[in-house]
Structure 1
Amino acid sequence: MIQPQIGPEQSLRRDAMSVLAHTPTERIAACLDALEIPAHQVVRQPERGLVMVRGRIGGDGAPFNLGEASVSRAAVRLVSGEVGFGYVLGRDGEKARLIALCDALIQSESFKSEIEQAVVAPLRRERDAALAEQAAETAATRVDFYTLVRGEN
């Protein structure tokens, strides 16, 4: 399957949404509290719903419906017109709203670099450090198995 080409703007938003989706709500709120957030309105109040999760057996298997997962979503509009969307697995509507706010701010030329430096970059560093720590803990328990070949053929 051919992947469509995305521009740097979309790439920045996608990377930021990935970081924010894996960050606890309290950390996002703490980072945003340190900033002067412009006036905005919630276009779509946080709401919960279900999505069907599809699976495959093996890499080439036919897709099948695995089950349903809870999802929360929200939409926020800045007074300057940018609209941000937030989707998150689970039932955390406040996290979806904060992600939508960050998405709208990332689209604004006035706030893009500030959000990247004050919110996304520190949260990315925290996530990378946590993943590195987890990898180190996992590597410490690694066991190498050696097979001895018997001389009988």
Structure 2
Amino acid sequence: MLPHWYPTDHHPAPPANPLFSWLCHEGSLTQRLTDAGNHDFRVELLRQEPQAARADEAAALGVPQGATVWAREVLLHTAGAPRVYARSVAPPSALGSSAVELDALGTTSLGHLLFRNPQISRGPIEISRYPAEWLPADWRSDGLWARRSHFSDGELQLLVCEVFLQGWPVAGT
């Protein structure tokens, strides 16, 4: 299964779904997770390395399919558990050429940096079901919802995809 990305105003998700407000939220997911987890938030770095761009990523970034991109995969933890798998990709030219030092992030929240820099703009949010085989083995589940958006500051071209793991959000968040 490949993802089919839809703008949030043409969504296939029912608005009554509690996850829908999380998918469409235009603010910082880092901040929303921090607030929902009573300030219990952390980033677990899974890997950060050059990889081949997936077809949907290449199209969104305007690079050839299979081109080498910088890729970072993390789990975002809040309220004592991993809640979101995030994959960020950028062309290698973005490394060292923008205000955000992508290759030096470690366990720093990328969202924290993106939303504090007024020079960085965010494109529209798109949502889709996410292929289970693209998730880390311990977190694979069919039918999980994801959102993605393109961030840019002229130099920086960055695609951020966030997949909401099974059981999130919990009632009342």
TM-based fold match above 0.5: no
Indicate the structure (1 or 2) with the bigger Cα radius of gyration.
Answer: 1
**Which structure would you say has the larger RCO, counting Cα contacts within 8 Å and 6 or more residues apart?**
2
Query: TM-score by structure 2 length?
Result: 0.32
Query: TM-score by structure 1 length?
Result: 0.35
